[in-house]
Amino acid sequence: MRSTNLHPVLFSEWDVFNVRQKLKTRVIKKTTNPEWNDELTLSIEDPEVPIRLDVFDKDTFIDDAMGNAELDIQPLVEVVKMKLQGVPENTVVKKLVPNRQNCLAEESAIRISEGAVKQDMVLRLRNVECGEIELQLEWIDIPGSKGV
């Protein structure tokens, strides 16, 4: 995960929300282009519920909101449900384009890489003057879960 062109801040952290879960990255100090390179695992109960990302300026008393974005994981889940096997490395299965219904800043491809379904994306932050979040999604089946 990485962010670019954020409104000037002293500290940044990234929160991920999906109904009952809240995950946080570590705080990156004194930069408007933080690179977290964190791996966060989120348990998906309902793939129809968008995941909300919030970026904050970490302050001593009150964390200031620096923008947010939502991402729809349904296209990723659709590709997972195809249960593709024997697909050549880095095969693009589906492409998504920015539109008014999503926060994509540029085209996003869902591909098969290292035997997994992955999606690289750049999200434009809302409710802020400028800023983007770059991230990669990877679907992981957890043993004992009901799956998709």
The pLDDT of residue 11:
38
The pLDDT of residue 18:
47
The pLDDT of residue 7:
41
Q: What is the dihedral of CA 47, 80, 107, 16, to 10 degrees?
A: 40
- Domain 11-139 superfamily per CATH: C2 domain (2.60.40.150)
The pLDDT of residue 60:
64
Tokens representing 30? 């004194």
The per-residue DSSP string of 65-76 comes to EEEEEEE--HHH
Helix (H, G, I), strand (E, B) or coil at 53: strand
What is the pLDDT tens value at each position of the chain, 148 positions in all? 444 444 444 334 444 444 456 777 777 777 777 777 778 777 888 888 888 888 877 766 777 777 888 889 999 999 999 999 999 999 999 999 999 889 999 999 999 999 999 999 999 999 888 888 889 999 988 777 776 6
Would you say the pTM of this structure is higher than 0.85? no
CA gap 100, 71 in Å, rounded: 13
CB-CB neighbours of 53 under 10 Å: 23
Domain ranges of the chain: 11-139
Helix (H, G, I), strand (E, B) or coil at 80: helix
